[in-house]
Chain A
Amino acid sequence: MGKFKSIKLLIILAIFMVFVAACSSNEGASGDGDKKKDDKDIQVVFIPKMTGNAFFESGNDGAQEMAKKVGFKVKYDGAPEGTVANQVQIINSAVNSGADAIAISSVSSDGLNQALKKALDAGIKVVTWDSDVDPKFRSVYVNQGTPEILGEMLVEMAAEQMDNPDDAKKIAWFYSSPTVPDQNSWVEYANKYIKEKYPKWEIVTTQFGDANEQKSLQVGESILDSYPDVDAIICPDSTALPAMAQAAENKGLNAEDVIITGFASPNSMRQFIENGTIKNHGLWDVKDQGALAVYTAYWLAKGNDLKVGDSIDVPDMGSVKLEANSIQGYDYTADDSGIMVLPERIVFTKDNTNDYNF
């Protein structure tokens, strides 16, 4: 019985290999790249950290609108779980299915390197948005703001709610994790900015919620318990900020008792603004960010050269300049690798929160 099975098995394998080999022919070298393509033949794969999250879905809305306006194709491809394995798989499939460019918000700063390297080797243009990868493995990072811009914005959003911001104040930081690259760079700069502009402020604690809703709520409550005299809690993380506001609301505190501000989408914060738990919070227009990311990807895929210092004209957004990687604090610099900073950011208050839906 055993012998038969192994023979059979070999036959199956052999048939399979022959079949695959026969089907293959010379499909691989379809010679793209040297001639400029039509707009409608260009496909950009737009990859979020995860699907089903309002922030990324509205990034996709912006991307699709831009694609329709200019006439190229955008495929939105993500998995419900934002894991490295899923993103690697999606990048591979984009490469395999013959996409021209990808625009990705990475879940890890170095976990995608191998996959992105393969994509670049296959001639695919790589643009990152929202969350960057190692700059060696992408052409352009569409950045929501440099650490300087966003760090200062965080501090000023808290300061403008204080009667005397120059007095001694107790400040707490609360975001996702001590190694997440973007948030840490904002906070690092914000602390520098505080030292210069508000030297009497004191940072009493820095806490982390791991981007987990339940843990963030517990951490939020423990901040309020451990530091009852804290003046402001700044949460530059889209999970930490709603959790912090919820923790304050659970304890019956409102914006008069403790200042809570940070970065999160207006949809997740609207109820807290309306019931007076918080007064303001900020973010950038993620629709613009998605649109700029796919437009840049399309621009590169068309065969255009983009060098640091050049500008491109983006429909409805005007001219956007490619800055050097060093504005984000990277050591790696190259002519064809840079950062585009989103032209504007928004502070949401009671007056304008209803104008946005993301």
Chain B
Amino acid sequence: MLNKIPKWNLTLFILIISEIIVFGMINPRFWNVTILLNSFNDFISVAIIGFFVTMVVITGGIDISGVSIIGLTSVVTGLLSQVVGINIWVSILCAILIGGLCGLLNGVLIAYGRVQAMVITLGGMLLYSGIAIVLVGLSDVSTYEGISGFPEGFSQIANGEVMGIPNSVILFIVMFFIAYILLHRTRFGRYIYLTGINQNTAEYSGINTKKIIAATYFLSGLSAGIAGVVLTSYLGSARSDYGAEYLMPILTVVVLGGTLITGGKGGVIGTALASIILGFMQIGLQMAGVSTQYIGLATGVLLIVSVAFLGINPDFRFNVRRIFTQKQNIGG
């Protein structure tokens, strides 16, 4: 059975286990299930977006606009429910849909307009966070303070629990299964891989690759919308600057999860494991007494190491080996 598990995922899994062991030895409170499960709240948004950005990256694209869709959906949820006065659940639905629309706009421009994904989503990132700030400005709410006063039921989305398991863990598992089934169990998922491996070949074999690409960005936008709602619920107020610091973590979990940044290869299991690694590392380092301001450093090291392990092509490895053997020859 063991040889069926892709090597990289196994490595990630071992990493999680060793994190639990090492951090637990430094601070035994890390071995408290409640604390570990509750820590999901702090990286759930990164994970949710990561699952669907994985799909985008597999098609060969990239989506960095998710971080500002979080802020936009947060503000829309707040405005619709607190300023306009619409029912909170309807507002949430509208906000998530708007997130999806933003993603769709990216996707259509990239797939049908054949513009670089990085350029479009970078533009989208600035555009959506700009819209969020304008919306806040129009509503006479200070950007600094945000919109608050949500009903108790809303804050239960992120803070509540079912049978002792925090909602954030349940949401993590649900979103993971949705992404997993979409990517690994459906024809749509297979088309995503084929598009990423070679778009022209896929196109000639009768796959509407443009539609597939646009759809992945739409899903990524939807997931950012969900993340925005969850974060608003977790923090209890709606602000336009939510998610601003999530760009690097999202890309890190996708790449660390084993998805090739050039497309065609990867999967959501890796992304899920990688987001747990990243989340546990943050809380573990904090519990070990490291100041939060230095934890970005650890994230950076993880990103570089994972890219180095996965991204370097065989030629490079061969060259490195040659350099070393030559040195040995000279030395000998």
- Residues of A whose CB lies within 8 Å of any CB of B are 2, 4-6, 8-9, 11-13, 16, 19-21, 23-25, 27-28, 51-52, 75-81, 83-86, 88-90, 92-93, 96-98, 108-111, 113-114, 176-180, 210-211
Which of A4, A25, A78 is close to B292, meaning CB atoms less than 8 Å apart?
A78
Total A-B pairs, Cβ < 8 A: 144
Contact B142 A111 (CB under 8 A): no
Interface residues of B in 180-210 (CB under 8 A from A): 180, 184-185
Which of A85, A88, A110, A111 is close to B245, meaning CB atoms less than 8 Å apart?
A85
The answer to whether the Cβ of B287 comes within 8 Å of any Cβ in the partner chain is yes
- What per-residue 1/0 map shows which CB atoms of B266-283 lie under 8 Å from chain A? 000100010000000011
Residues of A within 8 A of B282 (CB): 89
Contact A177 B144 (CB under 8 A): yes
Given contacts A5-B184, A21-B33, are A97 and B27 in contact (CB under 8 A)? yes
Residues of A within 8 A of B35 (CB): 28, 96
Contact B146 A111 (CB under 8 A): yes
Q: Which residue of B lies closest to A23 (CB)?
A: B31
**A16 vs B16: C-alpha distance in the bound complex, in angstroms?**
9
**A85 vs B292: C-alpha distance in the bound complex, in angstroms?**
12
Contact B17 A4 (CB under 8 A): no
Residues of B within 8 A of A80 (CB): 293, 296
Contact B244 A81 (CB under 8 A): yes
The answer to whether the Cβ of B178 comes within 8 Å of any Cβ in the partner chain is no
Contact B20 A28 (CB under 8 A): no
**A6 vs B178: C-alpha distance in the bound complex, in angstroms?**
12
What is the CB-to-nearest-CB distance from B80 to chain A, in angstroms, rounded to a whole number? 19
**A8 vs B269: C-alpha distance in the bound complex, in angstroms?**
10
What is the CB-to-nearest-CB distance from B51 to chain A, in angstroms, rounded to a whole number? 13
Q: Which of B4, B243, B282 has the most CB of A within 10 A?
A: B4
Contact B293 A114 (CB under 8 A): no
Q: Which residue of B lies closest to A92 (CB)?
A: B42
Q: Which of B54-62, B84-92, B211-219, B233-241 contacts A (4 or more CB under 8 A)?
A: B233-241
What is the CB-to-nearest-CB distance from A13 to chain B, in angstroms, rounded to a whole number? 8
Given contacts A20-B20, A75-B289, A76-B291, are A83 and B32 in contact (CB under 8 A)? no
Q: Which of B13, B29, B273 has the most CB of A within 10 A?
A: B29
**A185 vs B181: C-alpha distance in the bound complex, in angstroms?**
55
What is the CB-to-nearest-CB distance from A49 to chain B, in angstroms, rounded to a whole number? 11
The answer to whether the Cβ of B262 comes within 8 Å of any Cβ in the partner chain is no
Contact A79 B293 (CB under 8 A): yes
What is the CB-to-nearest-CB distance from A15 to chain B, in angstroms, rounded to a whole number? 8
**A113 vs B296: C-alpha distance in the bound complex, in angstroms?**
26
Contact B235 A78 (CB under 8 A): no
Contact B145 A24 (CB under 8 A): no
Contact B29 A20 (CB under 8 A): no
Residues of B within 8 A of A4 (CB): 4
Q: Which of A19, A77, A97 has the most CB of B within 10 A?
A: A97
Which of B20, B39, B173 is close to A92, meaning CB atoms less than 8 Å apart?
B39
Contact A96 B39 (CB under 8 A): yes
**A113 vs B155: C-alpha distance in the bound complex, in angstroms?**
11
The answer to whether the Cβ of B306 comes within 8 Å of any Cβ in the partner chain is no
Contact A93 B293 (CB under 8 A): no
Residues of B within 8 A of A211 (CB): 144
What is the CB-to-nearest-CB distance from A239 to chain B, in angstroms, rounded to a whole number? 11
List 19 A-B residue pairs with CB atoms under 8 Å apart, sorted by A's residue number. Answer: A8-B1, A8-B4, A9-B180, A12-B273, A23-B20, A24-B32, A51-B291, A75-B289, A75-B291, A79-B245, A83-B241, A83-B245, A85-B235, A92-B41, A108-B237, A111-B146, A178-B142, A180-B144, A210-B144
